[in-house]
Amino acid sequence: MRALELSDRDLSDLASEAARIAADYWASLPSRPAYPSTSGTETSRLFDRPWANEGRGRAVLDDFSAIAQHVRPCTGRFFGYVAGSGEPVGAIGDFLASVLNQNCTSWRSAPAAVSIERVVVGWLAEAVGCAGFAGSLCGGGSTANLMGLAMARESLLPANDDGARPGVVYASEQAHMSIAKAVSLLGLGRNNLRLLPVDASLRLRADAVRDAIAQDRRAGKTPLAIVASVGTVATGAIDPLHDLAQIAETEGLWLHVDGAFGVMAALAVPEKFDGLSLADSISLDAHKWLYQPIDCSCLLYRNRDAPRRAFSYSGDYVRIFNQDPEETFAFFDESIELTRRFRALKLWMSLQYHGRDAYREAIGRDLRHAELLAESVQSHPQLELLAPVPLSAVCFRHRTKNNEAILRRVIARGRVYLSNAMINGHFALRACFVNHRTTPQDVDEIIREVIAAADELND
Amino acid sequence: MRALELSDRDLSDLASEAARIAADYWASLPSRPAYPSTSGTETSRLFDRPWANEGRGRAVLDDFSAIAQHVRPCTGRFFGYVAGSGEPVGAIGDFLASVLNQNCTSWRSAPAAVSIERVVVGWLAEAVGCAGFAGSLCGGGSTANLMGLAMARESLLPANDDGARPGVVYASEQAHMSIAKAVSLLGLGRNNLRLLPVDASLRLRADAVRDAIAQDRRAGKTPLAIVASVGTVATGAIDPLHDLAQIAETEGLWLHVDGAFGVMAALAVPEKFDGLSLADSISLDAHKWLYQPIDCSCLLYRNRDAPRRAFSYSGDYVRIFNQDPEETFAFFDESIELTRRFRALKLWMSLQYHGRDAYREAIGRDLRHAELLAESVQSHPQLELLAPVPLSAVCFRHRTKNNEAILRRVIARGRVYLSNAMINGHFALRACFVNHRTTPQDVDEIIREVIAAADELND
């Protein structure tokens, strides 16, 4: 065979072997720890090697079990960060996307793939009550937030031609760090990002936004955009969408909703997201609360002119010959990406395999798991709930022990994994539920493990 | 079963079925057309449907054959753009990456996966003669170029805190459109991008860069960065790296190399890339000339301080407990991405499966295919070569017929696919070779098809 070529038979065997490995791995998840026992020394020792001249052939598949032992498994007992569960049908869709190897940059480049992406983006928009919004898939919430704010900048303080002028962005002090990163990257200056006070429920205070805008206008500054977090990464707080939309309208500002964590819950509890459709742009992460394998985010926007103003530059080599609206469609005119993976296929397969009702039910289950944990915390004399639980993140602490030490010990015990947050100056233990594998028994483990870890501490 | 759950048996069957579909598809590639017979009406009719409440179950796999019929197959006879071939072992690696569903944002979040990414980035750096460069994988060359120029900006005209000031970027008039897009997005202003004249070989003229810098300095402007294209997307021209590096050093500018198309050819013909290691940052696309499934790009950088200056913002919730240099490593400090797919696994598997020699050979074969086509064009009385062929892009035209009409007809005939470029005011037919499936017979088809298409035209 010529270099890099495999016979049909060898390829078929290799694919079958990979399918077997995948199925075995999924079946093994319930017995895997919440976090692996490993170290930097160990992962370097196992994997730091040169690229050899000679091929290893099928032996490369043997590495899988060592890799799997030294990564975080997506078990139902990993409650850290906002970590989706990697729904297997989605993973199979991802595989077939890599097999087709489409470049979803324009219909011309990947006809059915681009049409399918437009359709699934429509499903997502409709599922969160924003039917009619257009959008595109992208790699992560950070990119989606960056694109949303780029659209804000180019719509209100155009900078593409002559460079950025300072424009002020208003967000909650609980906003995700990707907002500051986007403001910086866009040349707006992080000092023009106002991270404003929140109310007792950790929601951005609309009056604080109004005051800050007025103060900036008096100081001769130019307000540009409001970012609503829906919900915040620490506690899932849902900023007051109606009030913020009204301010944005009155003041002529862009309203971007960072819904990376929470927006997909609108499928199950739409009443919590009333006002969402007043946004100009909305980011959401299907690899979080739609359980899809990483990466699969989406930016939705009300008006397709905005991304085109921000991102449309065409070269001769992407010149298109005809005028059919589907055939001349190009995502590269509406995104910072040019080459784009066929991310829509996993959504196409996974969302249809299970159906919309099943997703609604799974999200509802995550919400109930969070309530269950919050109730258990509140009924436990040694524990204290540190914030309301509007979605599926639960922040709590042990009343008397060192919670940072408890967290380290919980993680070392390996039965459940929690992360942390700072809530009103307290170090919080934090559990987040965006995992279709989690059972009520897994939720019960959290309290047991925290108390067991606390009891182990010498104080 | 609970919503979204499948039995181990059903999952195993589904994965096996997907493996069979993948193997059949790969086996079918030689018999597929270079471009599908489809239309926007047809892809909308087939795929535009609502997300149903009820699940379709395994029937979703049946969609694959319709999708495959209406997308561009990665045959050896697709020569448009710079379209890699989607090496199957890489696709299998991508599948297993989705199965593991790691978030490669930090070692803590994905231990072995992050260590493996650091190792394969080292392989790429070493393969292109830049051992010691650090880097990270990303989704596309556009993102890599954006990050390279963001590092330039933050190193020389810091804007993260107070906002962007105009800084001038110098590049070839043949530079990729992602450079203009990046300059715009970063708030530098596209009017501060100098797209400068090229020499007879379509390489950026160093004297033009020197003159433009001097002129800008006289006008009180601040030169910031030089972008070298290696090679240009239209013809593969390799800008003069040594000269540009010397100017960058003398003038105190950042040197970014856009190597999305060509840099990986340094594995086969290192002598063409002499001076590459003088760059401050280098983008490359492993989904182009390392044949990997989309997406798989890489940004390399000489000095890790630069990305940290540009991109490092940490939130409480990613707080890290220890001081081990491997365990505290976080890609989110060196990238615009936070959530990051385990892109390294496909490289890990595919590059080791075949070995470095096989990749060197495959790239060498692509280079010879381009020479073969260039020679055939030059020896054909009706055809004219429009540019030198330093890498694997060949631009040519029919001397007497309408080349745009020829291109449409070639594509409609479906046996080979070419794209186009504008070279010195001429509409060029363009073939690019970055495909391990292409055979010398496929290359011969190009001339036959162009002449057949030309003969069909009424003139």
Window 392-431 of A: residues touching B by CB (8 A cutoff) are 408, 419-422, 430
Of B299, B294, B150, which Cα lies nearest the Cα of A146?
Answer: B150
Report ipTM (2 d.p.).
0.97
Considering only CB atoms, B23 lies closest to which of A8, A166, A351, namely A8
Residue whose token pair is 């403001």: A183
Kindly report the nearest CA distance between residue B155 and chain A, in angstroms: 13
Of B394, B290, B276, which Cα lies nearest the Cα of B350?
Answer: B290
Cβ atoms of residues A244 and A204 within 8 Å: yes
Reduced to 3 states, what is the DSSP secondary structure of residue B425?
coil
User: With an 8 Å Cβ cutoff, are B18 and A96 in contact?
Assistant: yes
The DSSP code for A400 is S
Per the domain annotation, does A61 fall within a domain? no
User: With an 8 Å Cβ cutoff, are B143 and A186 in contact?
Assistant: no
Q: Within an 8 Å CB–CB cutoff, is residue B321 touching chain A?
A: yes
Q: What is the pLDDT of residue A325?
A: 86
Q: How far is CA B424 from the centre of its chain?
A: 25
| Inter-chain contacts counted by CB atoms under 8 A, chains A and B | 532
The mean pLDDT value of chain B amounts to: 96
pLDDT category of residue B316 using cuts at 50, 70 and 90? very low
Q: What is the pLDDT of residue B314?
A: 62
Query: What's the average model confidence in pLDDT over B148-173?
Result: 97
User: Residue A62: which residues within 8 A CB-CB, separation 6 or more?
Assistant: none
Encode B347-374: b = buried (16+ Cβ within 10 Å), e = exposed.
Answer: bbbbbbbbbbebbbbbbebbbebbebbb
Per the domain annotation, does A399 fall within a domain? no
DSSP lists the bridge partners of residue A429 as A396, A420
Does a cis peptide bond (omega within 30 degrees of 0) precede residue A295? yes
Task: Name the closest residue on chain B to residue A286, using Cα atoms.
Answer: B339
d(CA A21, CA A36): 19
Per the domain annotation, does A191 fall within a domain? yes
d(CA A147, CA A165): 17
The DSSP code for A78 is B
H-run or E-run covering A285: strand A281-285
Q: How far is CA A424 from the centre of its chain?
A: 25
Per-residue pLDDT of A415-449, as tens digits, reads: 999 999 999 999 999 999 999 999 999 999 999 99
Point out the residues of chain A with pLDDT beneath 70: 314-322, 459
Residue whose token pair is 């290799």: A14
Q: H helices within B29-87, ranges in order?
A: 40-47, 63-69
B88 CB neighbours in chain A (<8 A) are 6, 11, 14-15, 99
Q: What is the pLDDT of residue A321?
A: 56
Q: Within an 8 Å CB–CB cutoff, is residue A290 touching chain B?
A: no
By the 10 Å C-beta count (0-12 exposed, 13-18 middle, 19+ buried), B106 is classed as: buried
Q: Within an 8 Å CB–CB cutoff, is residue A2 touching chain B?
A: yes
Q: What is the pLDDT of residue A313?
A: 77
Q: Within an 8 Å CB–CB cutoff, is residue B256 touching chain A?
A: no
* Ranges assigned E (strand) in A410-455: 419-423, 426-432
pLDDT category of residue B317 using cuts at 50, 70 and 90? very low
H-run or E-run covering B394: strand B393-398
Which two structure tokens, joined as six digits, stand for B315? 């939130």
Per the domain annotation, does A417 fall within a domain? no
Does a cis peptide bond (omega within 30 degrees of 0) precede residue A231? yes
Which two structure tokens, joined as six digits, stand for A296? 């699969």
Q: Within an 8 Å CB–CB cutoff, is residue A253 touching chain B?
A: no
Q: What is the pLDDT of residue A314?
A: 62
Residue B242 has pLDDT above 90, yes or no: yes
Residue B87 has pLDDT above 90, yes or no: yes
Q: Which domain holds residue A332?
A: 92-354
Kindly report the nearest CA distance between residue B26 and chain A, in angstroms: 8
Q: What is the pLDDT of residue B344?
A: 98
Q: What is the pLDDT of residue B1?
A: 79
Per the domain annotation, does A14 fall within a domain? no
Within 10 angstroms of residue A45's Cβ, the number of other Cβ atoms is: 11
Residues in chain B: 459
H-run or E-run covering B453: helix B440-456
Query: What's the average model confidence in pLDDT over B230-238?
Result: 97
Q: What is the pLDDT of residue A459?
A: 60
User: With an 8 Å Cβ cutoff, are A315 and B233 in contact?
Assistant: yes
pLDDT category of residue B322 using cuts at 50, 70 and 90? low
Amino acid making up residue B286: A
Cβ atoms of residues B196 and A356 within 8 Å: no
Per the domain annotation, does B100 fall within a domain? yes
Of A232, A268, A291, A261, which Cα lies nearest the Cα of A84?
Answer: A291
Write phi, then psi, for B285 (nearest 5 degrees). Answer: -115, 105
B323: CATH = 3.40.640.10
* Ranges assigned E (strand) in A110-213: 134-138, 168-172, 193-196
Per the domain annotation, does A388 fall within a domain? no
User: Residue A317: which residues within 8 A CB-CB, separation 6 or more?
Assistant: B81, B233, B234, B419, B420, B421, B430
Specify whether the backbone of A202 is left (phi greater than 0), alpha (psi in -120 to 50) or beta.
left
* Residue of B41, B92, B229, B367 to mutate, testing the A interface (most A Cβ within 10 Å of its Cβ): B92
Per-residue pLDDT of A253-270, as tens digits, reads: 999 999 999 999 999 999
User: With an 8 Å Cβ cutoff, are B161 and A87 in contact?
Assistant: no
Which two structure tokens, joined as six digits, stand for B323? 């001081």
Does a cis peptide bond (omega within 30 degrees of 0) precede residue B455? no
Write out the DSSP string of B108-162. TTSHHHHHHHHHHHHHHHHHTT-TT-EEEEES-HHHHHHHHHHHHHHHHS--TTT
Of B401, B373, B451, which Cα lies nearest the Cα of B79?
Answer: B373
By the 10 Å C-beta count (0-12 exposed, 13-18 middle, 19+ buried), A28 is classed as: middle
Query: Total domain count for chain B?
Result: 1
H-run or E-run covering A280: none
Of A190, A174, A139, which Cα lies nearest the Cα of A258?
Answer: A174
Of A86, A335, A63, which Cα lies nearest the Cα of B341?
Answer: A86
H-run or E-run covering A31: none
Residue B180 has pLDDT above 90, yes or no: yes
Of B176, B137, B128, B390, which Cα lies nearest the Cα of B279?
Answer: B128
Window 178-217 of B: residues touching A by CB (8 A cutoff) are 178, 180-181, 184-192
Cβ atoms of residues A426 and A386 within 8 Å: yes
Encode B227-239: b = buried (16+ Cβ within 10 Å), e = exposed.
Answer: bbbbbbbbbbbbb
Q: What is the pLDDT of residue A1?
A: 79
Per the domain annotation, does B390 fall within a domain? no
Residue B459 has pLDDT above 70, yes or no: no
Per-residue pLDDT of B369-425, as tens digits, reads: 999 999 999 999 999 999 999 999 999 999 999 999 999 999 999 999 999 999 999
Does a cis peptide bond (omega within 30 degrees of 0) precede residue B231? yes
